[in-house]
Structure 1
Amino acid sequence: MFVVLVDAYTSGKYLLPEFTALGAGVVHVQSTAEFMASMPAPDLSGYAARIVHRDLAGTAASLRPYAPVRVLAGQEPGVLLADALARELGLPMNDPDRSEARRDKYLMIDAVRSAGLHCADQFTSGDPAELAAWRPPGGYPVVVKPRRSAAGDSVFICDTADQVRAAAAAVLGSATIYGEANPQALVQSYLRGTEYVVDMVSHDGHRYVCGVWEYRKRLLPSGRNIYDRERLLAPDEAPAAELMAYVDRALDALGIRFGPTHAEVILTPDGPALVEVGCRLAGNMHPGFHDHCAGGNQATLAALEVVRPRDFLDRYAGRHYDKRAEAICCTTSTTLDGVVAEVDEAVAAEIAALESVHRFDLKLGPGSRIRPTVDLYSSTMRIFMSAAEMAVIDRDYRRIEQLKDRVYRLREEVGAR
C-alpha cells in the first residue's frame, strides 16, 4: 500500500513515520521546482519515491505504478495539488467542487456564510483605494490580509482608512510565505473575542476531535497580531463543545470529508466565527507531546484513517480527546535583528531544564538571519510545556520570557563600535 504526501514541510514531516509504522510506503510530491525558502526543507530520505511536480498529467502518470490509496497535503501549499492529483487518480477526496474554497480565505468564508454559519463580513480587491473605502457594518477596526497565505503572514489590524490603504499596498506588493503573488488583498470585519484552535481528523465525514486550544496573541505597534501561546482546553470546558459543533458544520460547508484539519475560530458575542481552516496537520502539532497531554495525536490518527479506516471508525469516530495534563505551546518572539553567531548552550539548557518544559525546539542556528518577529515563521523558538498545574507553567513561561533573547548571540557587524 502506498500513500502520497504533497509538500511535507513543517509538521507534515510527522506523517511519514506514522504511515511507515502502519506498513504503508509513502511517495513525496514537491509542488515547486525548488524547496520553499520560507520553511526548512523536508528530509526526503525515507520516502519510496520523490517526484517534482511539473504538470498534472505527468505527475499522475508517475504515481500510477504505486497504485496509491490516498493523496494528502503535508502543508498548506500542497492542498490544491493534492486535490487535483486525487481527482486525476480517482481516489477518495474532499468535494472537488469546493477545492478552491479550502485554500482561498475569501471563498472559504463565503462558503461558510452560505451554509448559514456566523462569520466575518468581507471585501476583496486588487485596488488599495477600493479596500480602504470599504466599511463593515460595525466599522473599525478591520483586518487586512492575503487570500492564500498562512502562519499570520501579512495580517494587519487597521483602525483607519489610511492604515487599510497602507496594509493593502503592503500585501499587494509582496508575495506570500509560499512565494505566490497577491493579486488581491482581503479586508474583513474585526472579530472581537478569544481565538481558538480546533483540530480534527475525518473519514468519510465521521470525525474525531484531536484537541481544542485557546490562543493568546500579542499585538505589535505595527498592527501585526503575532502568535504567543496556546493552551489546551478540557473537552468539557466551555466553550469547547460549542466550538467543536461549529467546526463540524464548517467542515461540511467546505466539503471536507477526509483527513486532518486545523481550524481557527473566534468566539464572538454572537457565537463562533471561522477565521480559517487548513486541510493539513496543525503547525504546532508534535506527536509525543500531544500523546502526553491529549491521549493521542493528529499525525497518528491521520495515518490510521487512511490505512485502517475500520479501526478509525470503530475506535475514534464521533469522539474526542482526553485532556491528561495542563499544556501550552509557546512560540517566542524577538526584537533582535542580525545574524546568529552562536547559540548560548547554557541559556538553552536552562530553558530545557525548566520543570514544565516537555520539548524545546530552537528554530535558528549559527549563520541564520534573525529578524523582529512579525509572524509564526519569524518566531525564534517553539516550546511545548506541560504540568499538573497551570501555575507551574506560568512560572516557567515568565522565566522563558526573561531568557529568550539571550539564547542567540549575534555577530558583531563590521564597523560596529
Structure 2
Amino acid sequence: MNPVSSGVFLSAALRERGEECALVYDGHFAAEAGSGGPGRRVVHRDVHSTARLLRDLRVRHVVPGSEAGVDLAHRLAEHLDLPRNDDATASARRDKAQMVKALGDAGLQVPRQALVTTREDLARALDHVGLPAVVKPPASSGSDGCRICRTEREAVEHFTAVHGRSNLIGKVNEAVLVQEYLPGTQYVVATVSMDGQHHLHELSRSRIDERGGTPTRRHTISCHRLGSEERRLVAYVCACLDALGIRRGAANTDVRLTEAGPRIIEVNARILGPTLHPDPYFIAFGSSQQHLLVESLLAPADFRRRLRLGYAPPNVMGKAFLRSFGSGVLRGIPGLEAVRRLPGFHSVTSLPEVGSTVEDHALTTGTTGIVYFVHEDEPVVEKSLAVLVGMEDAGTLFDIAAV
C-alpha cells in the first residue's frame, strides 16, 4: 500500500523471491504510481472495489509500503480476511494521540498529552502538559508539522499554522497534538514480528538538532551491542508493540531514554523510512528490514530460527540525512568527493540532480541525499559523521545559488 518510501525496496525484495506484487496507491499518491518498480499498478478508489481486484489477483498478504499505507493496508486485509494485526487497536497504530493513550491504559509510562482543536483547548493543554511542549499533527510522518514550543505564544502561532492544513500524507490536520517535551537521547528501534514475537533488527541513537523550534534529525548511529539501558529500552518497545496489537510485520519506534526511563515518541507500524537502500544494511546487520519482512511472510520457518538469535550485528552503521541549509538551484556538490574518502564510507543515495531546485527544510525525507557509513569500530563511524556534519554546517558540501 502506497510504496512511496522504503516500500520501493520492499517490492524489490519480494520480486527477488519470485513473487509478483500489486502496488496499490490511493488518490493522494496516484502520481507516484510509476516509482515503485515492476508490478501491477492499482489506484485505490474505495475499499470494496480495491479488495475485489486484489481478491481476483489472489493476493495473500497486504502490507504498508509507507506511513500513508498503514491504515489502508489494515482495512483491505480486514476486508479480505487476510492475516493482519489486531483490529481493535488499528486506529491507535495510526493516530499518535490514540497511540499514547492506549499505551498509558496498558500500564506503560508515557508523556503527558492533549488533543486540541481550538485556542482555548490549547491554553488548557499547556497548563496540563507544561512548557516546553511538542506541538504536532496527530497523524503524519518525517517530522512534518512538528515543533518544540517554549512559550505559549510560540504554541499558538504553530497551532494556527498547522491546524486545518493538509499534512505530508495528504490528511487534513483536524486536530493538533500537544505533548510533553522529553529530554534525553532519542533511539530508533526497527523490528519485524511474527506470531507476537518481535525480532530486533536495528537499534540506533539519533542526533536531533533544533532549528527554530523544529527538531531536525541529522544522523543515526547503530548500537553494536546491548547494555543494561538498551535492553530496558528494547523491552519497553516490545511492550508497546504488544499493547498496540502488533503481532506481525515491520515496525519502527522512536523512543527517548529519559532520566526516568524510556518514554515513547511514536510507533510506526511499517518498515523504516525514508527511502533507505538495503545494501548497506546487509553489511551492517546481515539483512535489511525489507528482506526480513519478506522472510517472515514467505519463509516463516527461517524467520522462526532467526527469532532465537540475539542482537549481535557484525558492524556499526552511521546514516546521515544530508541537509542543504539553503534553498535555491543546486550548482554542484563540491564536498562529495571528501565525503566519499571518509573512513567507513559505504554509499550515498537520493542525491538531488545538479540544476534542480532544493529546499531548506527540517523534514526527514531524504530528498537531499542519505550517506551511509559502515565499519566494525563505532569511533570510526562517529568521527566520519562529525566531519560530515561540520561540512554541512560550514556550507561546504552543497553549492546552491539562491533564487
TM over 0.5: yes
Q: Which amino acid aligns with 1:332?
A: L
What percentage of aligned pairs have identical amino acids? 28
* SS of alignment partner, residue 96 of structure 1: coil
* Contact persistence 1:263–1:278 (CA under 8 A): yes
**Residue 9 in 1 paired to residue 4 in 2?**
yes
Match for 1:305: what amino acid?
S
User: Are the structure 2 counterparts of residues 403 and 266 from structure 1 closer, same or farther at C-alpha, using a change threshold of 3 Å?
Assistant: closer
Distance change >3 Å, CA 213–CA 41, structure 1 → 2: farther
Q: Helix, strand or coil: the match of 1:150?
A: coil
Report the more deviating stretch, 175-184 or 316-325. Answer: 316-325
Tell me, in whole angstroms, the C-alpha distance in 1 between the residues paired with 2:88 and 2:24.
Answer: 23
> Could you say which residue in structure 2 is the equivalent of 1:26?
21
Whether the 8 Å contact between 1:13 and 1:42 is mirrored in structure 2 is no
Q: Distance between the aligned counterparts of 2:61 and 2:154, measured in 1?
A: 45
Match of 1:358 among 346, 353, 356: 346
Distance 1:310 1:323 in 2: 21
Q: Secondary structure at the match of 1:207?
A: strand
Q: CA separation in 2, counterparts of 1:267 and 1:136? A: 24
Q: What's the offset of the Cα at 1:262?
A: 0.5
User: Could you say which residue in structure 2 is the equivalent of 1:177?
Assistant: 168
SS at match of 1:98: coil
- Residue 167 of structure 1 deviates from its aligned partner by 1.4
1:46 aligns with 2:41: no
Between stretches 61-70 and 71-80, larger displacement belongs to 61-70
For 1:399, the aligned partner's letter is V
Alignment of 1:96-111 (within 5 A): 96-111=87-102
Distance 1:402 1:42 in 2: 37
Query: TM-score by structure 1 length?
Result: 0.90
- Give the Cα separation in 1 of the matches to 2:170 and 2:319: 27
Whether the 8 Å CA contact 2:183–2:258 is kept in 1: the answer is yes
**8 Å contact from structure 1 (residues 371, 378) kept in 2:** no
User: Could you say what secondary structure the match of 2:246 adopts?
Assistant: coil
Contact conserved, 1:203 with 1:259, CA < 8 A, in 2? yes
Deviations 1:335-369 (A, max 9, x none): 211122x434x532332232221111243213433
How far apart in 1 are the matches of 2:167 and 2:80? 29
Q: 1:343 aligns with which of 309, 315, 332?
A: 332
User: For the Cα contact (< 8 Å) 2:278–2:290, is it kept in 1?
Assistant: yes
- 1:253 partnered with 2:248: no
SS in 2 for 1:321: coil
Q: TM-score, normalised by structure 2?
A: 0.93
Match for residue 55 of structure 1 among 36, 39, 46: 46
Report the secondary structure of 1:50's partner residue: strand
> What secondary structure is seen at the aligned counterpart in 2 of 1:213?
strand
CA separation of 1:33 and 1:387: change in aligned 2, threshold 3 A: closer
Q: Which stretch shifts more, 356-365 or 398-407?
A: 398-407
CA contact (8 A) 1:124 1:184 kept: yes
Sort the Cα spacing of 1:239 and 1:412 in 2 relative to 1 into closer, same or farther, 3 A: closer
Which residue of 1 is the match for residue 358 of structure 2? 370
Listed as ranges, the gaps of 5+ residues in structure 1 are 1-5
RMSD of aligned Cα (Å): 2.1
User: SS of the residue aligned with 2:267?
Assistant: strand
Contact 1:327–1:387 under 8 Å retained in 2: yes
Say how many residue pairs are matched. 400
2:207 is paired with a residue of what secondary structure? strand
**Paired residue for 1:133?**
124
Q: CA deviation at 1:208?
A: 0.8
Which residue of structure 2 aligns with residue 3 of structure 1?
A: none
**Residue deviations 1:92-133 (CA, integer Å, cap 9, x gap):** 000112111111000010111110001111101111332133
User: Given that residues 28 and 170 in structure 2 are in contact (C-alpha distance below 8 angstroms), is that contact kept between their aligned partners in structure 1?
Assistant: no
Structure 2 unaligned spans of 5+ = none
Find the residue that maps to 2:266 and give its secondary structure: strand
- After the TM superposition, which segments of 4 or more aligned residues of structure 1 sit over 3 Å from their partners? 33-36, 135-138, 318-321, 401-413
Which amino acid letter does the alignment assign opposite residue 335 of structure 1? F
Moved more, 226-235 or 353-362: 353-362
* 3-state SS in 1 of match to 2:88: helix
Task: Please tell me whether the aligned partners of residues 132 and 164 of structure 1 are also in contact (alpha carbons under 8 angstroms).
Answer: no
DSSP-derived class of the 1:10 partner: coil
Alignment CA distance shift 1:53-1:225 (3 Å): same
Partner of 1:359: helix, strand, or coil? strand
Q: CA deviation at 1:411?
A: 4.4
> Residue type matched to 1:26 in 2?
C
Flag the 1:33–1:158 CA change in 2: closer, same or farther, 3 A.
closer
Question: Which residue does the alignment assign to 1:268?
Answer: 258
Q: Residues of 2 paired with 1:135 and 1:287: CA distance?
A: 42
